[in-house]
């Protein structure tokens, strides 16, 4: 990659203005960067603009903004996909947040192959490897994985993961950029499906599905048990810190007793599949494990975000 990488990054293009793109754009704008938001759908761009306004209101209420809401909002411009060449003209960094469809992502990356050598392309994929997405690219060295967590404007961590041809410069620039915009980047040191956190949540979800399917706990009690014990600790004491507190000998003995008894299912559980068949998909369909009848999707998400913002304040203060 070229020397342009050592230049400061001022302008970021975000492709895909959905759930994740809106949060990613707000994070960059809050840190003072210009953001060009690109989407194939004009409606999606309009929803994104509205969502960002709602998120800015909440940040403001929690005193998490260093400047006026309008100053942050004005840094984001909105463009439809046919304006991609204009949107990427002179940009320093691209974040892809389109649907999790391999061919769609590859098609975009092929279009971006002609960008100047210093421009890095980061994919927010949650399940694809960079090596796989970069197949067919003329400039695979610029492609990197940058995995945000939903809601991306609030959750501090991002996972940075590379493919077998990703340039070290792309890694270094991405880590530095994430630190600069106030994120807590974690480097995934070997290419594995699911990176770090989706492997951990996958392992936990498998066991949760088992406990529910076997009638060992109700969904409501499971939420209380996790939030008030393991989860309560996790935001301030990570698993390794907690294991040091427990004692590694005690932890190893408990693992030896419990691991053989854990679920080793390789398919989603019947319980969750039945819910999906009934159209009970969660907040977006009005019912999942809980019933949201009578509440709008926006109001439920906003209430969730406000709980997370209280936690963000504590997290930021305790760092
Ligand atoms: N939703 C999550 O919780 C979450 C968390 C982490 C990572 N991710 C990953 O982030 C990516 C985006 O997920 P999302 O949940 O924001 O999806 P989404 O469906 O909410 O948004 C995707 C956006 O991309 C737009 N789009 C589709 N084709 C396009 C094209 N050719 N050019 C430009 N825009 C196009 C759509 O109009 C839509 O607005 C996926 O790779 C997903 O796996 C999602």
Where among 188, 214, 238 does a domain terminate?
Answer: 188
**Domain finish residue from 159, 188, 217:** 188
Q: Is the domain of 169 the same as that of 206?
A: no
Provide the pLDDT for residue 4.
Answer: 47
Other Cβ atoms less than 10 A from the Cβ of 94: the count is: 26
Q: Output the CA 133–ligand 1 centroid distance in Å.
A: 15
Q: Residues enclosing ligand 1, CB less than 6 A?
A: 15-21, 38-41, 44, 81, 97-100, 104, 124-126, 148, 150
173 with 297, same domain: the answer is no
Ligand 1 atom nearest to CA at 47: 39
What is d(CA 311, CA 318) in angstroms, rounded to the nearest whole number? 10
Give yes or no: residues 29 and 107 share one domain.
Answer: yes
Q: How far is CA 202 from CA 18, 194, 208, 279, 292, in A?
A: 23, 9, 10, 22, 25
CATH of residue 238's domain is 1.10.1040.10
The three-state (H, E, C) secondary structure of the chain, written as one string: CCHHHHCCCCEEEEECCCHHHHHHHHHHHHCCCEEEEEECCHHHHHHHHHHHHHHHHHHHHCCCCCCCHHHHHCCEEEEEHHHHHHHHCCCCEEEECCCCCHHHHHHHHHHHHHCCCCCEEEECCCCCCHHHHHCCCCCHHHEEEEECCCCCCCCCEEEEECCCCCCHHHHHHHHHHHHHCCCEEEEECCCCCCCCHHHHHHHHHHHHHHHHHCCCCCHHHHHHHHHCCHHHHHCCCCHHHHHHHHCHHHHHHHHHHHHHHCCCCCCCCHHHHHHHHCCCCEHHHCECCCECCCCCHHHHHHHHHHHHHHHHHHHHHHC
Ligand 1 atom nearest the C-alpha of 45 is: 39
Query: Which residues of the chain register pLDDT less than 70?
Result: 1-7
Q: Let me know whether 68 and 93 are in one domain.
A: yes
Ligand 1 atom at minimal distance to the Cα of residue 21: 16
Domain boundary among 139, 168, 188: 188
Nearest CA to ligand 1 atom 38: 18
Query: Does residue 136 sit in the same domain as residue 54?
Result: yes
Calpha distance 180→281 (Å, rounded)? 36
**pTM (two decimals):** 0.94
Domain count, the chain: 2
- The reply to whether 9 and 150 lie within a common domain is yes
Question: Are 159 and 221 in the same domain?
Answer: no
Ligand 1, atom 11, lies closest to the CA of 97
User: Taking phi first (over 0 means left), then psi (-120 to 50 degrees means alpha), and beta for anything else, what does residue 271 get?
Assistant: alpha
* CB-based burial label for 152 (10 Å; 0-12, 13-18, 19+): buried
Residue 318 is predicted with a pLDDT of: 74
At residue 95, what are phi and psi to the nearest 5 degrees?
A: -115, 125
Say if residue 183 is in the same domain as residue 230.
no
The CATH number that applies at residue 141 is 3.40.50.720
**What ligand 1 atom has the least distance to the C-alpha of 123?**
41
> 85 and 142 share a domain?
yes
Domain that holds residue 77: 3-188
Rounded mean pLDDT of the chain? Answer: 95
Cα–Cα dist 72/122, whole Å: 22
Q: Tell me: do 309 and 273 sit in the same domain.
A: yes
Whose CA is closest to 288, among 296, 300, 280, 298?
280
Residues 314 and 228 in one domain: yes
How far is it between the farthest Cα atoms of the chain? 60
pLDDT digits (tens, 9 = 90+) for 76-116: 999 999 999 999 999 999 999 999 999 999 999 999 999 99
């Amino acid at each position: 990659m070229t020397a342009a990488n050592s230049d400061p990054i001022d302008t970021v293009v975000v492709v895909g203005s959905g759930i994740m793109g809106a949060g990613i754009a707000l994070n960059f704008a809050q840190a003072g960067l210009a953001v060009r938001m690109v989407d194939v759908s004009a409606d999606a761009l309009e929803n994104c603009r509205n969502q960002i306004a709602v998120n800015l209101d909440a940040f403001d209420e929690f005193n998490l903004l260093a400047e006026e809401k309008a100053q942050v909002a004005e840094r984001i411009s909105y463009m439809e996909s046919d304006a991609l060449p204009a949107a990427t003209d002179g940009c320093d960094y691209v974040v892809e947040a389109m649907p999790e469809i391999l061919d769609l992502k590859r098609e975009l990356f092929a279009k971006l192959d002609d960008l100047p050598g210093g421009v890095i392309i980061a994919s927010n994929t949650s399940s694809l490897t960079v090596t796989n997405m970069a197949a067919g690219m003329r400039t695979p060295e610029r492609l990197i994985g940058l995995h945000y967590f939903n809601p991306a404007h609030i959750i501090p961590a991002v996972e940075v993961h590379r493919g077998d041809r990703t340039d070290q410069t792309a890694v270094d620039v991405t880590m530095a950029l994430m630190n600069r915009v106030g994120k807590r980047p974690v480097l995934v040191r070997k290419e594995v499906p699911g990176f770090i956190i989706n492997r951990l949540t996958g392992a936990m979800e498998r066991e949760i599905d088992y406990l529910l399917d076997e009638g060992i706990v109700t969904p409501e009690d499971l939420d209380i048990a996790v939030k008030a014990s393991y989860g309560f600790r996790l935001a301030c004491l990570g698993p390794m810190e907690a294991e040091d507190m427990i004692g590694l000998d005690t932890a190893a003995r408990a693992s030896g007793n419990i691991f053989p008894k854990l679920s080793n299912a390789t398919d989603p559980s019947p319980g969750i599949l039945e819910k999906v068949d009934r159209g009970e998909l969660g907040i977006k369909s009005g019912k999942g494990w809980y019933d949201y009848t009578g509440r709008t999707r926006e109001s439920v998400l906003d209430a969730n975000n406000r709980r997370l913002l209280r936690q963000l304040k504590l997290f930021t203060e305790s760092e």
